[in-house]
Chain A
Amino acid sequence: MDIKQIASLANLQLSPEQEQLFSSQLTDTLKNISIINELDTQNVIPTSQVTGLENITRPDVIDRTRVLNQEQAISQARRSHRGYIVVPSVI
């Protein structure tokens, strides 16, 4: 397992100690969970939604009662400027 690569995919910064610790712990955990390979699942359909709901939709109408105003929307952002959220440069 390439710990550095996974950390980068997960957008996490790990200390060298954490890299080492997670590397051994995750390997152990993967070994433990491989127990499910004892069960034959050939032709078994996977279940992602346990109550069987499908294609739940709603009318495409804006519910004004739940729309946050601009002040509310940015109220929890660490950095804002003139009613906008400041984000790190991505270029």
Chain B
Amino acid sequence: MKLNQLSISEAKIGLKNKQFSSQELVEACLQQISRYNSKFNVFLKMNDQALKEAEKSDISRPFGGIPIAVKDNFLTLGLTTTASADLLSGYRPQYESTVTARLKSAGAIIIGKTNMDAWAHGSSTETSDFGPTLNPWDATRLPGGSSGGSAAAVAADMCLGAIGSETAGSIRQPASWCSVTGFKPTYGRTSRYGVIAMASSTDSPGPMTKTVADSALMLSVIAGQDPFDATSSPEPVLDYVKNMKTLTKRKFAIGFPKEYLEVLEPEIKPLIIAAIEKLEALGHSVKETSLIHPKYSIGVYTILQRSEVSSNLARFDGIRFGKDRTAFGQEAKRRIMLGTYTLSVGLYDQYYRKAQQVRTLIINDFNRAFSQFDLIINPPTPGPALKIGATRNQPMFGELQDILAEPSSIAGLPGISLPCGFVNGLPVGFGLIAPQFHEPDILAVSHAFQQTTDYHLQKPIL
């Protein structure tokens, strides 16, 4: 196995036993990137100090010497950050996001910044102002998004793990389409400070990794209250790896909402059912349940997201940084327009307030379900990766693709996407959600699933 193919957990052991050095790890990733980046368009900007940082790395730290990739909406001090938007071309942040600051202080080497939908507005990475990223499993298809570059970087072994961010599906959907493990933490579990804002009431940074154990490892580093983000949670941070392992033997009560099954495309249903049977074989009880139909979440999410986008993007006036507002792409303009409309005088109650009320109904519905179940099965996407060009003339492409991720995101719940098989050579993702701050329960069941399956170990032919 090549060094760039290792998981973070494997690399930590190798570094400790002096089987290889951090420079060799970084070098292996950089070689993979130089071979395949022109084909798949995964990285927008490389950190030219990565090898020097590797040389000086302290491997006794939790991420000492580990090369990771970061989605381009996280501000990285001095390293160009654009959120894949032409408006921010050449922007060099004067400060560091909390998530990347924590990774750096844990010893991680940020090798570069990954492509995404411009401003994270999409679920395809096709709306990037710098061209789409292609899916490593099939270069005629989309990687999903908005964290499509990070998902593709992990799938194509261009890094050992990556950071993504999710508003509704932006970690779990590309993880599913690229066959990687994507973990969206509870809203507020990870800090939004220094993340170019999309929808502030749902944005959640999280890990995109080769295994569940690696996600647990990364979450332990990036989670926690941040004085710079007033919405970050004071809930104590756990050692997620230890908790995950302790809970692996526990038998969980798991619900499967019939409304979610209805939304799945027929070709992936057998794989989801097989994954459920695997959970039963592991000793968990899985029972059918019912939730508010996810089609209502599309409406709620669209209103909340467009409204918050119009407000967040108001700051881009071309004065302190970036180009002026004529540089916004078509998708950003369309979203700002709708959000400005739904927040305008006389319409606020009809749209934004109504959506926030339905959000309460969705939260109450989950609370009811979680009084019966520890976890809920939530496949992240209705089907496998779509063809390049699928987003054309589809102003609600993302909202429809993310129908299964929207309810849990609106409620701020943690969720995971796990590789669970392939249809016609395309990866399919399985998923679980839990009550807020029950990350360890998801990680434990998912880890046990990966201990007895090998879908996550399969590699694309690039």
Contact = CB atoms under 8 A, between A and B. Distances in A.
Contacts of A78: 318-319, 322-323
A11 B314 contact: yes
Nearest to B88: A76
B186 A51 contact: yes
Contact of A75 (B92, B330, B338): B92
A22 to B, nearest CB: 6
Interface string A16-54: 001000100110111011111111010011111111010
Interface in B394-418: 395-396, 410-412
B360 A46 contact: yes
Contact of B412 (A12, A34, A50): A50
A84 B357 CA distance: 45
B359 A47 contact: yes
Contacts of A25: 334, 395
A53 B92 CA distance: 33
Contacts of A51: 186-188, 231, 233, 412, 436
B388 interface: no
A11 B341 CA distance: 13
Contacts of A50: 187-188, 201-202, 359, 363, 410-412, 436
B395 A47 contact: no
A33 B344 CA distance: 17
A91 interface: no
Contacts of A33: 298-299, 302-303, 351
A6 B295 contact: no
Interface string B294-305: 011011101100
Contact residues of A: prevailing secondary structure: loop
Given A6-B344, A41-B361, A73-B94, A12 B296 contact: no
Nearest to B188: A51
Interface residues of B, number: 59
Interface in B197-245: 201-202, 227, 230-231, 233
Contact of A76 (B94, B201, B230, B344): B94
Contacts of B299: 32-36
B366 to A, nearest CB: 11
Contacts of B334: 22, 25-26
B359 A46 contact: yes
Contacts of B430: none
A89 interface: no
Interface in B304-352: 310, 314, 317-323, 325-326, 328, 330, 333-334, 336-338, 340-341, 344, 351
Nearest to B328: A12
A1 B357 CA distance: 24
B359 A53 contact: no
A58 interface: yes
B360 A6 contact: no
A44 B361 CA distance: 8
B336 A12 contact: yes
Nearest to A13: B326
B356 interface: yes
Contacts of B201: 48-50
B354 interface: yes
Contacts of B292: 39
B151 interface: no
B91 A47 contact: no
A22 B337 contact: yes
Given A28-B395, A46-B356, A68 B94 contact: yes
B296 A32 contact: no
B357 A46 contact: yes
Given A50-B188, A58-B230, 15 more contacts: A6-B341, A9-B340, A10-B337, A22-B334, A29-B395, A32-B302, A35-B295, A37-B354, A41-B358, A44-B361, A47-B363, A48-B356, A72-B94, A73-B94, A75-B94
24 contacts: A6-B341, A9-B344, A10-B337, A11-B317, A11-B325, A26-B334, A26-B338, A26-B341, A29-B395, A35-B296, A41-B354, A41-B358, A46-B353, A47-B363, A48-B201, A49-B201, A50-B187, A50-B436, A51-B187, A53-B188, A68-B95, A76-B92, A77-B321, A78-B323
Ordered nearest first, which 5 A-B pairs have the shortest CB separation?
A46-B356, A50-B412, A41-B357, A33-B299, A76-B321
